[in-house]
Homo-oligomer: A and B are copies of this chain.
């Protein structure tokens, strides 16, 4: 038995380097909650989750008030049982974002610990399906940028060897969205993927109308076209267009993904390891998607998702948004438009203690 002896919880803020504006929000903070679990055999593992600016202290409260007391003294090894135990302690606060983010930081720490104990990387523990995966870029595609900058961003991503670029949509008129996308397509040529992301801006009817204009541009996917919870809207949209419907960053339970898969409402699953509640449920979603012949291209959290997406056969692309640069000594290398998962024990993130001290807010 390797008993959980101490759990440290802290929060750092990692403001994005550039302003980010999409159809729903702009954000200037990234509260990053870190949990470190120490065990009786002298090991420790660290996990994390994030907010885009609201709820960090609520996540901290759930962890310190309820999860830490529920875990101290327990065997750290059976992560599925521990996840279930966390759920039992907090059931009436689930389903939901805040609770999932709290679970995720703890669950990821337990996986890190498992890898450090057994000497295996997360990528291998979780399946090890691919040695590397292609990367696409999001940093140059924000909604507030004028079309010239959008085109420049796409060209930069292409020059950097990435496989594609994501462009935010949701400008007031369909014509303006279409014009911006056409300019990007013309600049990058046919052999480069262009994804679009509406950040939940549309009604189903409007999304169906806009999707038709994306089809001739060979758009790779239409991300978060509708309020994430609108199952029937996604089903209707997916049935109406040849553009794959990408959804999942704002779904908070394995069962919810089951609904979308069963309804044919999702073409590309974008499950987010923090928002789904950790690695334990993330893998279930990926495996469920495989059962439906649906690919997984996870949302954000590149440093962790590279290991998870590469671990499963249906892993597709990794989204390039370096999030942890300021607080880690490790970094991912993009070669030939691809990124390889770290193959060191645990989740493969080398935290920088001094930098954590500098960024700590709680």
- Report the bound CA distance from A232 to B263 in whole Å: 10
Q: Is A179 an interface residue (CB 8 A)?
A: no
| Interface set of A (CB-CB < 8 Å, partner B) | 24-25, 51-55, 57-62, 65-66, 88-100, 227-232, 250, 252-253, 255-256, 258-259, 262
Nearest-neighbor residue (CB-CB) of A90 within chain B: B54
Contact A92 B54 (CB under 8 A): yes
Residues of B within 8 A of A232 (CB): 258-259, 262
Contact B93 A25 (CB under 8 A): no
- Interface of chain A: mostly helix, strand, loop or mixed: helix
Extra 7 A-B pairs, beta carbons < 8 Å, given A53-B92, A229-B255: A25-B91, A52-B92, A54-B92, A94-B96, A96-B96, A231-B255, A232-B258
The number of times this chain is found in the oligomer is: 2
* A61, B57: Cβ atoms closer than 8 Å: yes
Known: A92-B52, A93-B51, A96-B99. A229 touches B253 (CB 8 A): yes
- Inter-chain contacts of A91 with B (CB < 8 A): 24-25
Most buried by B among A53, A95, A232: A95
Given contacts A95-B95, A96-B95, A96-B99, contact A90 B55 (CB under 8 A): yes
Please measure, in the bound complex, the distance between the C-alpha atom of A236 and the C-alpha atom of B259, giving whole angstroms: 13
Given contacts A88-B25, A97-B94, A255-B229, A55 and B51 within 8 Å (CB-CB): no
Asked whether A54 and B25 contact (CB < 8 A) given A250-B92, A258-B232, the answer is no
* Min CB–CB distance A24 → chain B (angstroms): 6
Interface pair A93/B231, CB less than 8 Å apart: no
Chain B, residue nearest A50 (CB): B92
Which of chain B's residues have a CB closer than 8 A to the CB of A55? 61-62, 65-66, 90, 92-93, 99
> What chain B residues lie within 8 Å of A51 (beta carbons)?
92-93
Task: Kindly identify which residue among B57, B59, B60, B229 contacts A256, using a CB–CB cutoff of 8 Å.
Answer: B229
A98: B residues at CB distance < 8 A: 58, 62, 93, 96-99
- A341 → chain B closest CB, angstroms: 26
Min distance, Cβ A291 to any Cβ of chain B, angstroms: 14
Taking CB atoms, residues of chain B closer than 8 Å to A252 are 95-96
B258 near A89 (CB under 8 angstroms)?
Answer: no
Offer 11 A-B interface pairs, CB within 8 angstroms, sorted by A: A24-B91, A52-B92, A57-B61, A57-B65, A58-B58, A61-B61, A94-B96, A95-B95, A96-B98, A97-B99, A229-B255
Contacts of A57 in B (CB 8 A): 61, 65
Q: How far is the CA of A58 from the CA of B103 in the complex (A)?
A: 14
How distant is A89 from chain B, measured CB to nearest CB, in Å?
6
